[in-house]
């Protein structure tokens, strides 16, 4: 109540009356479902639906700005994903139950309703809908593969042969050194005991993380498990005293304990950090054929395309300075695993037009989502600072986008790759004027 009282004293009685209006950010006419301690368990916990739930405070400015976007997302997702809201200022016990410390906090309640995930995406309706559909797709795929919803139920044993063990590599005293110690990959290894309750709780999270990490790192970070009650040599070697214990193994380094959270998102986040720390920066490729563009953009969530000035305008040193900026940004954002491409102004004019670049203002940059065929243009300077601000906004789901003209990439011309040298003007044919008598010309014709 403190924030509201100060507001009333500062603005006076009339403003106080207006302030009270925001106590209800949502109404019965909205597609956002109001949740309270009375109906939360029945509506959310006992439901088989996927839920996105916002925990808000009516006086919170960020919550007020999110409200129209949250309503739009709820309407778009109606009948597909449930979208709810909890006044956590009024229902503090419900907010406390889910560790809400700030506003707004958004949680995703998937198949395992007892382990809600934090939503970390953008605050636009498009970003919210994308996250909801991604979570829904994962839930459906897991059901299709035989798992109990988004993750395993946690009641299966590791020996049950369920789909959960698919991407978790089981290691033994005999197989450990060959697979882990001599590997160039990063390994996260869980040492468990079948009777351990905490291990059973971790199992579905570990399995779900293993699948996601395998996909996002292309197998460069592996999640494994060791039954320490059976493989006692390994347990003794690594001083395992409690369960579960998770250790990280990297070639040439001593193993270190993993001390992060035990949810899928926590595990995936740490795995991606390990991957980015060890991965080389992405390749920066010149668009010399249709295959280069298609393969790069199809394989990545975003492809960053730069159109650099003609070589005659910059010379080799100028072009290399632009490429260096791109390489530094590719290194900085390598954890995002985006694709990085460039082309010379005029070499792919149809592509430029489709991205709204159109023949001037070089160098230019566009970030393209090939799946949605949408793009965003760099509006600031083509510098480390300008590009960093542009990409940072993109990474949190902000920034304006536009559809790629025609809804697809245009024809890409096959061109010779840049040879790394300065450009040369084309050689013109010499004109022989020896037979021309300029004195005979009629001056009126000049």
d(CA 211, CA 223): 9
Neighbours of 397 (CB within 10 A): 16
Neighbours of 382 (CB within 10 A): 19
199 given a catalytic annotation: yes
**Choosing from 8, 199, 297, 303, which is the catalytic residue?**
199
**Choosing from 8, 63, 297, 303, which is the catalytic residue?**
63
DSSP characters over 407-436 = GS-------PPP-SS---PPPPPP---TT-
Per DSSP (E only), the strands in 152-274 are: 169-171, 186-192, 221-227, 245-249, 256-257
How far is CA 4 from its chain centroid?
37
**Choosing from 8, 60, 297, 303, which is the catalytic residue?**
60
User: 203, 152 in Cβ contact below 8 A?
Assistant: yes
| Strand ranges of the sheet holding 245-249, from the earlier edge strand across to the other edge | 169-171, 221-227, 186-192, 245-249, 256-257
Token reading at 439 = 């004195």
- Beta-strand relationship, 51-56 and 105-109: antiparallel
Which ranges of 100-196 does DSSP label H, i.e. alpha helix? 125-144, 176
Instruction: Judge if the upstream peptide bond of residue 150 is cis by omega within 30 degrees of 0.
Output: no
297 given a catalytic annotation: no
63 given a catalytic annotation: yes
d(CA 76, CA 314): 48
The partner residues of 308 in beta bridges, in order of sequence, read 344
Instruction: Judge if the upstream peptide bond of residue 185 is cis by omega within 30 degrees of 0.
Output: no
**Choosing from 8, 196, 297, 303, which is the catalytic residue?**
196
- Beta-strand relationship, 82-87 and 105-109: unpaired
d(CA 330, CA 332): 5
Q: Which residues are known catalytic residues?
A: 60, 63, 196, 199
């Amino acid at each position: 109540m403190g924030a509201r009282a100060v507001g009333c004293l500062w603005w006076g009685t009339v403003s106080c009356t207006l302030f009270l209006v925001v106590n209800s950010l949502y109404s019965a006419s909205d597609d956002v479902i109001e949740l309270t301690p009375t109906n939360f368990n029945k509506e959310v916990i006992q439901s088989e639906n996927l839920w996105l739930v916002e925990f808000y405070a009516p006086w919170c400015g960020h919550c007020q700005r999110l409200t129209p976007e949250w309503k739009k997302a709820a309407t778009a997702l109606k009948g597909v994903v449930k979208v709810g809201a909890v006044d956590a200022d009024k229902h503090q016990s419900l907010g406390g139950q889910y560790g809400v410390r700030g506003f707004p906090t958004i949680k995703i309640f998937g198949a395992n309703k007892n382990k809600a995930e934090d939503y970390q995406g953008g605050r636009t309706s498009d970003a919210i809908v994308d996250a909801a559909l991604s979570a829904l797709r994962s839930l459906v795929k897991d059901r299709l593969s035989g798992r109990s919803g988004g993750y395993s139920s946690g009641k299966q044993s590791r020996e049950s042969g369920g789909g959960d063990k698919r991407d978790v590599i089981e290691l033994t005293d005999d197989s450990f050194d060959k697979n882990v110690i001599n590997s160039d990959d990063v390994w996260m290894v869980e040492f468990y005991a079948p009777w351990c309750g905490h291990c059973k709780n971790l199992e579905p999270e570990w399995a779900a993380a293993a699948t996601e990490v395998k996909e996002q790192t292309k197998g460069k970070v592996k999640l494994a498990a060791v039954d320490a009650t059976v493989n006692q040599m390994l347990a003794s070697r690594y001083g395992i005293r409690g369960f579960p214990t998770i250790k990280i193994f990297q070639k040439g380094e001593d193993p270190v304990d993993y001390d992060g959270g035990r949810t899928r998102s926590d595990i995936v986040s740490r795995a991606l950090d390990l991957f980015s720390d060890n991965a080389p920066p992405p390749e920066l490729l010149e668009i010399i054929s249709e295959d280069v563009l298609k393969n790069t953009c199809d394989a990545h969530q975003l492809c960053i395309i730069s159109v650099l000035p003609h070589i005659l305008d910059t010379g080799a040193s100028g072009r290399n300075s632009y490429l260096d900026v791109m390489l530094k940004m590719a290194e900085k954002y390598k954890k995002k695993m985006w694709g990085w491409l460039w082309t010379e102004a005029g070499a792919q004019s149809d592509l430029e037009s489709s991205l709204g670049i159109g023949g001037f203002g070089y160098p230019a940059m566009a970030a393209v989502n090939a799946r949605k065929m949408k793009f965003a243009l760099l509006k600031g300077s083509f510098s480390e600072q300008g590009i960093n601000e542009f990409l940072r906004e993109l990474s949190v789901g902000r920034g304006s986008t536009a559809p790629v003209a025609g809804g697809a990439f245009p024809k890409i011309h096959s061109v010779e790759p840049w040879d790394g040298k300065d450009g040369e003007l084309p050689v013109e044919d010499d004109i022989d004027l020896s037979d021309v008598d300029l004195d005979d010309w009629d001056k009126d014709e000049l």
